[in-house]
Structure 1
Amino acid sequence: MLLQCNATLAWRCPLCGELELNQISIFDFSGKNRLEIKCGCGYTKLVFGKSSSKKYWLEYACVVCESTHRVSFTQGQFWVNRVKKIKCLDNGAELGYLGPYEDVKRLADQEEEYLRLMIDKLEFEDYFNNPEIMLSVLNELHDIAEANGLVCQCGSSDIDIDMLPREIRLTCNRCHGVTRISAETKEDLAFLRKIKQIKILEGVVSALEGINL
């Protein structure tokens, strides 16, 4: 059994939707037993851990069943030179991949292509009133989140993004505050581009305006 000292993780951020590749080294666990993997937007996607018995574990929030799962590996299983598919423990849906870079990147590229085809199949352009504006607004939101500008008044960073035909809704999973962002016109996009921070108001539903900035 061939072991390696490095592994690559492919995981889609549940907050911003970006699929990123993260490099993990055996030396990342030197002097510590916990390793948080963050998205470029700042959201903690999942956590690796190492127990005293030299076993490794992986804890992640499942976007399929909305539960938190934990899976364990022996040292040999964790660093073996082949891909491990990380799944929803309830229904077996594949959520991410861990293993050699080339193999993981190939699977990640396949997933991105599959997602693109699925969006086409679901008639993406027919669902949104203005799909180009919607995608541009999503990109702006990602940039704001990447600069740590997406926050909730209650202090939580656990925020869901829902896309509707005319708007995007940001929902805090702790206090259930909601901010609605219009994503239909050029004026909506121009307004968002002037914003550096979006603050969800604690426990209430509001539209994005001066009070949320």
Structure 2
Amino acid sequence: MLIDTLCSVALYCQRCGKVQLLDVPLFSGKQQLKLRCGACGEQMGETILRPKHGLGLTIHCGVCGKSTYEQFSWHQLKKLRFEKLYCHHDHFELGYIGRWQDIAEFLDFNDAEYDSLHPGDGDRFLERQQILLEGLTRVHELAAHGDLSCPCGSQEVSAGLMGDSIVLQCQECGSSCVLPMRSAEDLAHIYQAVGASWRLRSTL
């Protein structure tokens, strides 16, 4: 069985929102490889090569805060050209795997398609995605440290994306809070915005 000596993955960095297209060598002698964002250094995931099983890929999801694991056998890798990667928990699109050229062509097509639908928007689409992901990361960090709670006192809070906003919802009483994330200014004032509606530790 003959397969390429490497495959490629393109992942959305869950911190800065940029798309990183990376090569994954299959016969480099390295069993594990950390996949890091070239822009901010964030670890986006990692690969592990198993001689009998093929390629294992772990990707971190900034939306649900969990990791997704995908396993590709050598037979699958032989035929793989382009495949989308999704979070197993909330079906959020995390990136793509396949041949470098096929992934690059898909990304170029997506950019051209967006530009044709929003000719005056320029790079605002990627910028907005970056702001949303960074805002969601900061909210998750607040919740993880116990610094965020509903006005009812509960800390059982879920966070999700709706358009250009982050929505917080209390799992205890059902109260919700909408945080617009349309600009860098919204991101800079996210703690004040959360604190205006919900309980936020004053030390932050």
Q: TM-score, normalised by structure 2?
A: 0.55
What is the Cα deviation at residue 68 of structure 1? 1.5
Q: Is the 8 A contact 2:26 2:49 kept in 1?
A: no
In the other structure, the counterpart of 1:88 is 87
Question: Where do 1:55-70 residues align within 5 Å?
Answer: 55-70=54-69
- Structure 1 pair 93/113, CA: closer, same or farther in 2 (3 Å)? farther
Amino acid across the alignment from 1:6? L
Q: Is the 8 A contact 2:67 2:87 kept in 1?
A: no
In the other structure, the counterpart of 1:162 is 135
Q: Is the 8 A contact 1:9 1:22 kept in 2?
A: yes
Question: Where do 1:191-202 residues align within 5 Å?
Answer: none
What is the Cα deviation at residue 38 of structure 1? 0.2
In the other structure, the counterpart of 1:175 is 145
- Structure 1 pair 90/67, CA: closer, same or farther in 2 (3 Å)? same
Distance 1:57 1:204 in 2: 43
Q: Deviations over 1:30-57 (max 9, x none)?
A: 1x42111000111001111123533321
% identity of equivalent residues: 21
Q: Is the 8 A contact 1:85 1:94 kept in 2?
A: yes
- Structure 1 pair 175/114, CA: closer, same or farther in 2 (3 Å)? farther
Distance 1:9 1:54 in 2: 19
What is the Cα deviation at residue 175 of structure 1? 3.2
Task: Please identify runs of 4+ aligned residues in structure 1 that moved more than 3 A.
Answer: 63-66, 90-94, 110-118, 169-172, 174-178, 203-206
In the other structure, the counterpart of 1:23 is 23
* DSSP-derived class of the 1:109 partner: helix
Q: Deviations over 1:100-126 (max 9, x none)?
A: 1111101122344566678x59x98xx
Q: Is the 8 A contact 1:176 1:204 kept in 2?
A: no
Give unmatched runs, 5+ long, in structure 2: 149-183, 189-200
Q: Give the count of matched residue pairs.
A: 149
Q: Deviations over 1:41-93 (max 9, x none)?
A: 11001111123533321111234544321111112213435112212324555
* DSSP-derived class of the 1:77 partner: helix
Distance 2:18 2:56 in 1: 23
In the other structure, the counterpart of 1:194 is none
In angstroms, what is the RMSD of aligned CA positions? Answer: 4.1
Distance 2:116 2:63 in 1: 20
Distance 1:114 1:79 in 2: 30
Amino acid across the alignment from 2:185? A
Q: Deviations over 1:9-50 (max 9, x none)?
A: 11110100111211121234x1x4211100011100111112
In the other structure, the counterpart of 1:38 is 36
Amino acid across the alignment from 2:47? F
Distance 1:114 1:176 in 2: 42
